[in-house]
């Protein structure tokens, strides 16, 4: 659906629900596809698309009549997707770091924190070497702490196949991490 962006922006800035509806109808489907490709989760994608348009409405007075409306809308959504991934990563890092801290008897030093951050960066790079299935199984087992049996059922694989993939992933990750001279194998 082609719309007159400049006119819609002017009307939207004045609080026009009709202009907002036109913009929504023109961009919602494309935005949904864009976000879904990133998240691969329909429910979360719907939430982000709705929130994107709510933010557009809330910030309508700041719109530039000569700006690219599509780029503005997609940028809002892109930032929400990035924020979602940051929250996921931070939650995971926090949980892993807390487990690490609890496993140590002494206090965690600032050096330990820096080393742990370096470890996480190198692990992220190392996981890129894994096959898609190894990567998936590693994350389910080691990062989401899902039992082997449940992973096997979820992926429609035998428990032994899951163990084999996990063993292979661990071997590759240990080898990759050794290249970085990181000896935090206890995290793996």
C-alpha distances in angstroms, 84 versus 50, 89, 91, 139?
15, 9, 11, 17
pLDDT recorded at residue 102: 54
Q: Is 43 left (phi over 0), alpha (psi -120 to 50) or beta?
A: alpha
Alpha-carbon distance of 133 to 162, in angstroms, equals 9
Residue 101: how many other CB atoms lie within 10 Å: 13
For residue range 16-66, list pLDDT tens digits in order.
999 999 999 999 999 999 998 888 888 889 999 999 999 999 988 888 766
C-alpha distances in angstroms, 149 versus 25, 70, 92, 161, 168?
45, 46, 22, 11, 18
Structure tokens at 180: 């970085």
pLDDT recorded at residue 32: 94
For residue range 55-101, list pLDDT tens digits in order.
999 988 888 766 688 888 998 998 888 878 766 655 555 455 556 65
Q: What percent of the chain has pLDDT over 70?
A: 74
pTM above 0.75, yes or no: no
């Amino acid at each position: 659906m082609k719309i007159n962006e400049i006119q819609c922006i002017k009307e939207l800035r004045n609080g026009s629900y009709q202009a907002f509806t036109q913009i929504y109808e023109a961009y919602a489907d494309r935005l949904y596809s864009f976000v879904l490709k990133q998240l691969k989760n329909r429910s979360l994608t719907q939430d982000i698309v709705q929130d994107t348009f709510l933010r557009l409405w809330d910030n309508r007075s700041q719109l530039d009549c000569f700006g690219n409306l599509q780029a503005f809308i997609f940028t809002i959504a892109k930032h929400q997707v990035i924020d979602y991934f940051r929250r996921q990563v931070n939650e995971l890092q926090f949980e892993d770091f807390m487990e690490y801290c609890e496993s140590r008897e002494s206090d965690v030093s600032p050096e330990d924190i820096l080393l742990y951050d370096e470890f996480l960066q190198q692990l992220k790079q190392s996981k890129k070497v894994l096959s898609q299935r190894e990567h998936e199984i590693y994350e389910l087992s080691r990062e989401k702490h899902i039992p082997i049996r449940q992973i096997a059922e979820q992926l429609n694989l035998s428990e032994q196949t899951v163990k084999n993939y996990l063993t292979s992933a661990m071997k590759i990750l240990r080898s990759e991490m050794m290249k970085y001279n990181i000896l935090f194998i206890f995290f793996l």
